[in-house]
Chains A and B, each alone.
Chain A
Amino acid sequence: MKTALELIILLPFLGAIVNILLGRALPRRMVELTACAVVWGSFIAALSAAVSYSTPTVVYAGSWLSSFNLSAPFSLYIDPLSLSLCLMITFVCGLIHLYSIGYMADDPCYVRFFALLNLFVGAMLVLVLAENLPLLYLGWEGVGFCSYALIGFWYKEAKNATAGRKAFIVTRIGDVGLAIAIVWMFQHFGTLSITQLNQSGLQAPTEVVTAMGFLLLLGAMGKSAQAPLMVWLPDAMAGPTPVSAQIHAATMVTAGVYLLMRMFPLIGHSPDVAAAIAVTGAFTAFYGATCALVERDLKRILAFSTISQIGYMTLAVGCGAITAATFHLIVHAFFKALLFLAAGCVITAMHHEQDIFRMGGLRRTLPATFWPFLAGALCLAGIPPTGGFFSKDGILAAAWEQGGMLYSTLYAVGLITAFLTAIYSFRMMFIVFGDRLSSKEEHHPAVTNVPAIMTFMLIPLAILGLIGGLLNIPANLGNGLLDSFLAALNAEGSHLKSITELALQGTASLVALGGVFTAWLRYGGKRRQECISRAEQEPSPLVGFLRAGWYFDRLYRFLFIRPFEWLSAILWERVDEGVIDDNLDRMATLLGRTGQLLGGLGNGRVSAYLLSMAAGAALIIAWFAWVMP
């Protein structure tokens, strides 16, 4: 068990180190092989850990930080939550690595790419398996750094580098909250071990737990792109598509949700925190869905849908339904990786065209991409009986189960969001893959061939996304595998009545099918063309509002960036140049003048030197005569 756990983490790091140090000397195939082999090796290690798993265990792998009563060793914690996430991460990342071989086939910087990709996986696995908060923070910052480096991978274009920096800085705001929470927890509980912290929730006053919970929520908001720190995720599309897939599906944005799930036994003691988490999640889910409705860029649609789906997971955590959150996290990882990888195929085929209104007719030209993409869209829309339907239904049921004014409202918001989700998923389907009707579009370049390895990777993901529901069948239809596996994590074990659950499932499926139907009414068949020609006109205010992401970017520019620029302009022009530089300049001029003045005395006349020497000696003697009578 210990070896398996250590291998899970060490293999990706080994791959990264080999590629960093020797990558340039190795042939291309070797680099790709190393990068993929270590991740799959890690997956095998995770599998063997799963096979031999019996009870939650803490594995001590070595000492790290230790002084006085502070200790944060390299100890790993394996429990159902971390185990299922490890399996999902290594599997999905393994597929993404294989896909990257095809996607990055023409890129000269493949060594850097694969090294960073491996490092990314390693950092995420450290985060997931960490038993204490400093180790978790190490992985947390590791994924932050890797996402920065990979989003800005094509850094020669200023836009991409800016997107990388934006992701880094916005998530940093959340990281501050997490760092404060870690220090505070140590100060209050005297330990940093996650298992011990989770048992000590009752020792602290509720207000303290509430405050800590809000700090952790801030950290999760940054990492998981929850409102109000979600602005970085749509811009993160500047990176290569496999990176987007990895960030969205497996490694980066789920970290925040994971943190909340991990610490829920502690912060769940405060109902305020749980409500805040749920509200954040529901609002973000709604926000992401509305923005995705009008977006034109294929990858940005998927980015907004990620924001929305992560919002669902956060909502589930806020409802105390850790199983539902984990379930949705895993299923979402499958179908979001699938959608991104399929989008990567589409984009490659369309010569890096990302505007969906310039696509069309791809159903016939790219059948190998169309069918997996359809599966992904079905999952995203939550059409029964795909995995996406069951996981989303689990979350909505959890919100319903909580009852009360607040959670009922959140349930309604979740339901509306599910409707919007179905609309935008199928809007995307109809516009990208629907048949072209007019001859006007014929001037578009023909699609190019997509490497077989890229389309092949879509198949396992599509299958997993479609049958993912089997992992956790709702109680009224059978027994959930994940449910019993994760039973220990849930806040309370009460279950809804079978009839209520059936009604909820019926509502959810009706809403999803209604959404698809609405999308067909608006975008299907001939109406697709009208919609495209309408898009050329000036957008209506509402569409403009949604397309600009509710003007959040502009708001932040106004609230934070402008004052910051203004302050830095003052500090630069007035304080730095005006006060510090000017004073130094003046002092230098003064010294120069004095030097010239004194230099005039050195006129080279020996007699003058002699006279001044005699005068100086006389002065010194006079001084001595004065002070020493």
Chain B
Amino acid sequence: MIVPFTHLLVLASILFSLGLICVLVWRSNIIMLLIGIEIMLNAAMLLFVAGSNHWGMADGQVFALMIMAMTSAEVSLALAMVVYLHRRKRTVNVDEFSELKD
């Protein structure tokens, strides 16, 4: 069974919007922000695979693999930073970390 391309587009859009809303709204927890970013990346990855299937070219799948690799690296780094930040301020609220302003 072949899923139509439009369906995939719609699904990816919904996933991306959910991730974006998660990032924008759930500001009390930095981990939720990271999860939102993951969801957006997955939406993009899905779109790459769908495009690759639709046009019959392998490039999209290669990109999907690369995004996976990059994401795993990013998550490991980001979680380490979360642990560090939590140790510094005893909180994971995004808006507490505003030293960049100064």
A residues whose Cβ falls under 8 Å from a Cβ of B: 602-607, 610-611, 614
Contacts and interface: CB of A to CB of B under 8 A. Distances in A.
B24 A604 contact: no
B101 A603 contact: yes
B23 interface: yes
B97 interface: yes
25 contacts: A602-B101, A603-B101, A604-B98, A604-B99, A604-B100, A604-B101, A604-B102, A605-B94, A605-B95, A605-B98, A606-B27, A606-B94, A606-B95, A606-B97, A606-B98, A607-B24, A607-B27, A607-B94, A610-B23, A610-B24, A610-B33, A611-B24, A614-B20, A614-B23, A614-B24
A611 B99 CA distance: 18
Interface of B: 20, 23-24, 27, 33, 94-95, 97-102
B15 to A, nearest CB: 16
Contacts of B24: 607, 610-611, 614
The secondary structure that dominates the B interface is helix
Contacts of A611: 24
A416 B81 CA distance: 107
A610 to B, nearest CB: 6
Nearest to A602: B101
B84 to A, nearest CB: 16
Nearest to A605: B95
Contacts of A610: 23-24, 33
Contacts of A614: 20, 23-24
Nearest to A618: B20
B35 to A, nearest CB: 14
B95 A607 contact: yes
A172 to B, nearest CB: 61
Contacts of B101: 602-604
Given A604-B101, A604-B102, A614-B24, 15 more contacts: A602-B101, A603-B98, A604-B98, A604-B99, A605-B94, A605-B98, A606-B27, A606-B94, A606-B95, A606-B97, A606-B98, A610-B23, A610-B33, A611-B24, A614-B20
A191 B54 CA distance: 86
Contacts of A607: 24, 27, 94-95
A102 B95 CA distance: 88
B30 to A, nearest CB: 9
Query: Which 9 residue pairs are nearest across A and B when measured between Cβ atoms?
Result: A604-B101, A604-B98, A607-B27, A606-B94, A605-B95, A607-B94, A604-B100, A611-B24, A607-B95
B64 to A, nearest CB: 22
B13 to A, nearest CB: 12
Contacts of A602: 101
A611 B22 CA distance: 11
A611 to B, nearest CB: 6
A396 B71 CA distance: 110
Contacts of A604: 98-102
A378 to B, nearest CB: 92
Nearest to B25: A607
A520 B101 CA distance: 96
A594 B102 CA distance: 19
A605 to B, nearest CB: 5
Nearest to A599: B101
B47 to A, nearest CB: 14
B59 to A, nearest CB: 22
Residue of A603, A605, A611 with most chain B CB atoms under a 10 A cut-off: A605
